[in-house]
Chain A
């Protein structure tokens, strides 16, 4: 793409973009752009965009992987790398064309607005993110360099903590009851039900299932040293920071696409840039058969919302957005996340347009079971709702931490029709054991059988009925 450009050009275009951003009423954090080359971009991606991040070999692995894919041309580098922080920081790759830079800047402003206003991000304290990650990095480096701790020991805890990092509460906004309140709650329920109180009801801790695995282990394993506890805290805090981004992948990308299109179309771009923009835009938001493209689904949904408001689809190149539509859209971007966004706005027409289907494995192939027709669109939508956001992470909670009076930790997987991957579950249980130090158990359902995994220093034990189901006796 022939045009060469300088930093001055970028600043000029940024000026015009941010003018539009204000005009459209987007509400953003101050924005910072970092010009980088592709290796820097890859490293930024490796550390989720954080300017400083604690070291761990898994980042080396992730870097090698993306770099290999990039070097062999299997995968390009995404145009955008933007982090939820105040000021909002984004990377611009210097080898990109001017058009791509303008497009990226416009797109980044969309994310910026979303980060600042969507409710799922409220707890992330965007103004302190950079400092917090820096402090995490400093602390972990300190432990690695401490001769009495060292890299191996730190890695052992980090490896285990990473395995459990996203096993946390689904909704950070809901306040959790304290143990005393939980006790009172049980008492009240029993009383209201007129039931007799039994000793066994209280021989359990926690009384209510606890989903924050790392934090629970940190607070209830007396054998952990201070630095080990600190590492668990760090990993948990990072997971909480990234959780909202997982929860809003579709709505957030859709929002950014919606606004980059709006901004780009109102900028009076020179025709060559405009042509390139159309090509790039269509590449980004095209459906990927056999997969789900969040850009495609998100943008389609936002368009649908607007279409329902206006009564007809508008020509995005020509017509500008109307103010009253904007208000509704702004409201939705504040209060929805992927699950609610899809549940509220995915209708049959949109499902058909996106050609969403339900597929199930049959021998070696994925085979379509249902398509979005009159009878099936709702179940498919519900399945989609279940699998987006944090739906891809199995729901596992601690139901007891003193089983058999021997500090056995009991975990329970809430079975929703999807089975755990058995090998991964076994290996992850080993990680739980590393952190807990006593026997750990996991209840789940495999092959329609209640299954109980138990792991301690002697190794893994699985309840016999599931073993029989997997390896039937002749």
Chain B
């Protein structure tokens, strides 16, 4: 009796519904929140040393919509199951940190979301606001990174799949125009044009066809190698190693993100250095004294043998607690200088958890004498330091890069 029924139409459901724009925007806002908390996320043990497609659960605080609301410390009325008595307990008081129930926006309470992100996504978010330091071009790099085809002009023969429809249609139009001109001239001589004459069909001709011409397109990319040098001597306890690993992890992920091909070299050293695989590097403990120079020497050897700086972007980073034998210091400095010459960026991170006892000679001071603009030292004292220090490390490289380009411009 009059009610209108609008039958079901699936058009705006399924994949995209009308909320998709707002959901997209909400996700962008969440991403911003995630970015702000990235330091916490990075220092979580769970993400270190995992593969890119691993899914990590990241707790993020939902974006709240604040209003004036009553706190939950005032009495309220509720229903019982039929035989309520004074003194009975009926439920827990909402605490911050638990998802709030009740009507949206009316009840305070923390919304925690556990978002699933793949490690790759997370890393992308992490590096979104960081620029790659310097993709210094290596003149001889010329390593084929990608081989594809690129369109370049047209040709008159080819396979159907390569047909250039637009050009083909154009050339037909041209041909028809010429044809008509000729006909008109001819007719003008004979008799006036008859209007009722239907426009003649003017089909495509073999001569109209144009095909895309393809040309191989080879792109060259420079490749990078990350040399992770870690002190695994006895004084490097679990905490120190963990901090070092976090840092290497970030460095590796970062370089991997920016270069097509990234090689990794892991060098573990105590008094002697050896190249180890990733697993051993991150998970095995060593012991013994410390000779930093051994690690540097090994790094130099490896660079010399396999990653010539003219072909490779070399990033080297060394983590240690700085307890080096004092006899070894001069040699270390000397080798560090050499490393600076062959690396894009060489960094030294001294890991000194606060409260730890240290003896010997902290290398941080000794490195002060080293004056190379691609050398950086930093001190890490706590988990929370890792991300900010890492950022500082990269931004330093960025500065250097921008200075050099500016210099270049002036020079021009």
A and B assemble together:
yes
| Residues in chain A within 8 A of chain B (CB atoms) | 7, 10-11, 14-15, 18-19, 22, 30-37, 39-40, 42-43, 46-47, 55-65, 87, 94, 105, 151, 159, 162-164, 166-167, 287-293, 296-297, 354-361, 363-371, 380, 383-384, 387, 392-394, 396, 413, 417-425, 427-428, 430-431
Binding stretch for chain A, among B2-10, B266-274, B362-370, B391-399: B2-10
Contact of B90 among A290, A380, A427 (CB under 8 A): A290
Contact of A368 among B23, B67, B71, B88 (CB under 8 A): B88
CA distance A58 to B19 in the complex (A): 10
Contact of B75 among A58, A364, A383, A425 (CB under 8 A): A383
6 new A-B contacts at CB < 8 Å, known A46-B19, A47-B19, A359-B77 = A37-B13, A290-B79, A296-B79, A358-B76, A366-B92, A367-B87
CB distance from B319 to the nearest CB of A (A): 39
CA distance A151 to B28 in the complex (A): 12
Contact of A420 among B17, B69, B82 (CB under 8 A): B69
Q: Does B117 contact A (CB under 8 A)?
A: no
| Nearest opposing residue in chain A for B93, CB measure | A361
Contact of A424 among B18, B26, B66 (CB under 8 A): B66
Are B70 and A368 within 8 A (Cβ)?
A: no
Residues of B within 8 A of A64 (CB): 23, 26
Are B79 and A292 within 8 A (Cβ)?
A: yes
Are B76 and A33 within 8 A (Cβ)?
A: no
Residues of A within 8 A of B77 (CB): 292, 356-359, 380, 383-384, 387
11 contacts between A and B (CB under 8 A): A31-B4, A60-B25, A167-B68, A287-B79, A357-B86, A365-B92, A366-B78, A387-B77, A392-B70, A421-B72, A424-B108
CB distance from B245 to the nearest CB of A (A): 35
Q: Does B152 contact A (CB under 8 A)?
A: no
Are B18 and A367 within 8 A (Cβ)?
A: no
Q: Does B84 contact A (CB under 8 A)?
A: yes
CB distance from B124 to the nearest CB of A (A): 21
Contact of B78 among A290, A419, A423 (CB under 8 A): A290
| Nearest opposing residue in chain A for B102, CB measure | A291
Are B88 and A60 within 8 A (Cβ)?
A: no
Are A356 and B26 within 8 A (Cβ)?
A: no
CA distance A22 to B3 in the complex (A): 13
Q: Does B91 contact A (CB under 8 A)?
A: yes
CA distance A373 to B25 in the complex (A): 52
Are B91 and A163 within 8 A (Cβ)?
A: no
Q: Does B305 contact A (CB under 8 A)?
A: no
CA distance A290 to B3 in the complex (A): 39
Q: Does B54 contact A (CB under 8 A)?
A: no
Contact of B80 among A42, A357, A420, A431 (CB under 8 A): A357
Residues of A within 8 A of B24 (CB): 60
Are B21 and A290 within 8 A (Cβ)?
A: no
Q: Say whether, besides A37-B13, A359-B90, A57 and B25 are in contact (CB < 8 Å).
A: yes
Shortest beta-carbon contacts, A-B, top 7: A60-B26, A60-B22, A60-B23, A427-B66, A355-B80, A421-B71, A418-B74
| Nearest opposing residue in chain B for A293, CB measure | B79
CA distance A56 to B3 in the complex (A): 32
Are B79 and A65 within 8 A (Cβ)?
A: no
Are A37 and B8 within 8 A (Cβ)?
A: yes
B1-45 interface mask toward A, CB cutoff 8 Å, 1 = contact, 0 = none?
Answer: 111111110101110011101111111110000000000000000
Contact of A365 among B4, B22, B91 (CB under 8 A): B91
CA distance A65 to B91 in the complex (A): 23
Q: How many residues of B contact A (CB 8 A)?
A: 60
Q: Does B402 contact A (CB under 8 A)?
A: no
CA distance A59 to B105 in the complex (A): 12
Select the residue from B22, B29, B95 with max chain A CB neighbours within 10 A.
B22
Contact of B84 among A11, A32, A371 (CB under 8 A): A371
CB distance from B58 to the nearest CB of A (A): 16
| Nearest opposing residue in chain B for A151, CB measure | B25
Residues of A within 8 A of B180 (CB): none
Are B7 and A417 within 8 A (Cβ)?
A: no
CA distance A170 to B228 in the complex (A): 67
CB distance from A434 to the nearest CB of B (A): 11
CA distance A455 to B297 in the complex (A): 60
CA distance A417 to B70 in the complex (A): 10
Residues of A within 8 A of B78 (CB): 289-292, 356-357, 359, 366
Q: Say whether, besides A58-B65, A425-B68, A369 and B82 are in contact (CB < 8 Å).
A: no
Q: Does B63 contact A (CB under 8 A)?
A: yes
Q: Say whether, besides A37-B10, A289-B90, A365-B92, A57 and B2 are in contact (CB < 8 Å).
A: no
Contact of A417 among B2, B63, B65, B74 (CB under 8 A): B74
Are A35 and B8 within 8 A (Cβ)?
A: yes
Q: Say whether, besides A18-B3, A30-B2, A39 and B25 are in contact (CB < 8 Å).
A: no
Q: Does B194 contact A (CB under 8 A)?
A: no
CB distance from B300 to the nearest CB of A (A): 51
Are A383 and B76 within 8 A (Cβ)?
A: yes
Are B5 and A43 within 8 A (Cβ)?
A: no
Q: Does B128 contact A (CB under 8 A)?
A: no
Residues of A within 8 A of B91 (CB): 290, 365-366
Are A14 and B84 within 8 A (Cβ)?
A: no
CA distance A46 to B95 in the complex (A): 26
CA distance A76 to B64 in the complex (A): 24
| Nearest opposing residue in chain B for A371, CB measure | B84
Q: Say whether, besides A94-B8, A356-B77, A368-B88, A422 and B64 are in contact (CB < 8 Å).
A: no
